[in-house]
Structure formats: C-alpha cells, structure tokens
Amino acid sequence: MEVAETVSSVRGLVEAARRQGKTIGLVPTMGALHIGHVSLIEAAVQQTDFVVVSIFVNPTQFCPGEDLAKYPRPFDADCEICRKAGADVVFAPTADQMYPAENLTWVTVEKLTEPLCGQFRPGHFRGVTTVCAKLFNIVGPDVAFFGQKDAQQAIVIKRMVADLNMPLEIVICPTVREPDGLAVSSRNQYLNPEQRKDATYVYKSLQKCQEMIDAGVTDTQKILTEMRRVLQQVPSIEIEYVSIVDVGTLQDIDKIAGKILAAVAVNIGPARLIDNILVDSNR
C-alpha cells in the first residue's frame, strides 16, 4: 500500500492503475478509522480493482466552535487499518495541498442541505460537497463509497453527482453499529463511560420509531413525541433535532407513507452524535 501526500502523486498512482485496465474506488474519510470505515473499504475492495482511501480532516466543513482542532488524527493506526482492509493507496493531503489558495469556488447543493443538520451547521454541506468534488476531480474514481450513517450527506452527494454529470457511481453502505446499537463514530471517543451508556438511547429512539411504524401508526407527530420521550429519559442528552422526513426531499411529513427517513441529532457532553434509519412503511 502506498501513501500519497500530494495531488500529483495520487494522480500518478491512479493513472498507472488505469493503464492496467483497473477500475478505481474511492473511500473519502476524515480518518480516526473504525469498523464503519472498514466496511466501506471492504465494499470498495469487492467492487473495484484499485482502492484509494482519502484521509483529510476538511477544515471547510467545520463550523466555528466545532471540534476541528481536537478531531482525532491517529495517522499511523489509520494506515495500518487501510492496509489490512486491502486498500491500495492512502491519500493524505495537507490542508495546503487541498486548499493552496483562498478558495473562491464552491459547490452548493440547494434545498436538500437546508433541513436536518443544515439548520444547525451553516456552511457544513458546502464544505462537504466542495471537498468531495475536489477529491473526485483529483482521484477520478469510477465508484465512491459513503455511509448511510450520514444519511443527509449521502443524499446531497448523490444529488451533486447527478446534477453536475460527474462521471462516477455513488454507493451507500449500511450503518455499522456497536453490539448495543450505537452507530460507530469517530466522535464516540469523546464520550466518558457514563455518556457512552447514555448514547445508546439515540438508537433506542429510532427503534421506537420503527416499532410504531411496524404497529401501523401513521401520525408522525405521535411517533416524534414518543421518540423524544425515549431521549428525554436521559438528562445528559440535549436534543438538536428529531425528524421524520421524505427520503427524496428531506422535508417533514405529517403521515407515514412509503419510504421515510427518521433522523436524530443530539449533543452528549462534548460529542455531537447523529443517527438515522430508513423505513419502508409498505413492507
């Protein structure tokens, strides 16, 4: 496995693989890799011939006051995880490589970036879409792999690719969870043991939503009230949002019908945690 730190070096490695007729997979990450990331790398290894994992803590997707400075950066351990998972290249650019000059060009996906996390993280999705567009232009993958864990991000990226005719496929991989249901996240390490226990209530609230839909409840407000009740059992949980939205538009819905996305964002101590489930109410 090679480690490339510059745009030109990763391009050289990808061009050589292309000359051998290989298809290229890209897994964009911010590092602090865990089994969720590994599942994406493994999917990339299965579905493409040459896998690039990017590790870049992208400053433009952090809002003022967020955890950019303290975001974990265990680079050697990350490389080892990538190697074991079968990656061919780790692309780990410096911020100067990615943003050599003041960035004057941004990619903005409208509407889909306004609800859910968009309300609380102004500029976040603009940073995400811009860095992903840059990574797609630098690496030129046939397929890029993202996690369902960040449901809104996945929907926004897919829309950017469709709207701008970017020549790649986006594959969304299922959320990997701890045995007690907590979605695996690099930010879980900010939690102390007590907060870590409390964090299980995030998925419990989503399970409550699933149970109620399975039982035939269609009134969204009723479901949201019960989901909030689950979260409010835990004093350390500060709810940011609890939403049930249409998967196409991400707009709130009054009645459960067809495919819906239930999404939760909370703060527990120093960690902002998000999770979601997709529910097909017709099944």
Residues of the shown chain interacting with ligand AMP in the complex, contacts defined by CB under 6 A: 29-30, 36-37, 39-40, 146-147, 149-150, 173, 175-176, 183-186
- How many Å apart are CA 198 and CA 36, to the nearest integer? 21
Residue 60 DSSP symbol: G
Residue 34 among the catalytic residues = no
Of the two residues 149 and 272, which places its CB atom closer to ligand AMP in the complex? 149
Of the two residues 173 and 245, which places its CB atom closer to ligand AMP in the complex? 173
The region, left, alpha or beta by phi > 0 then psi within -120 to 50, assigned to residue 105 is beta
Q: How far is CA 216 from CA 51, 210, 222, in A?
A: 43, 10, 12
- How many Å apart are CA 107 and CA 122, to the nearest integer? 14
From the list 29, 32, 33, 37, the catalytic residue is 37
Q: How far is the CB of 74 from ligand AMP (least distance, A)?
A: 12
Of the two residues 129 and 185, which places its CB atom closer to ligand AMP in the complex? 185
* Contact of 4 with 89, CB cutoff 8 Å: yes
b/e for 138-155, b at 16 or more Cβ within 10 A? bbbbbbbbbbbbbbbbbb
Question: By beta-carbon distance, which residue lies closest to ligand AMP?
Answer: 147
Of the two residues 35 and 164, which places its CB atom closer to ligand AMP in the complex? 35
Of the two residues 67 and 226, which places its CB atom closer to ligand AMP in the complex? 67
Q: What are phi and psi of 77, to 5 degrees?
A: -65, -40
Nearest to residue 265, comparing CAs of 256, 275, 255, 278? 275
Q: In what order do the strands lie in the sheet with 24-29?
A: 2-4, 89-91, 50-55, 24-29, 143-147, 169-173
Pairing type for strands 89-91 and 50-55 reads parallel
Residues noted as catalytic: 37
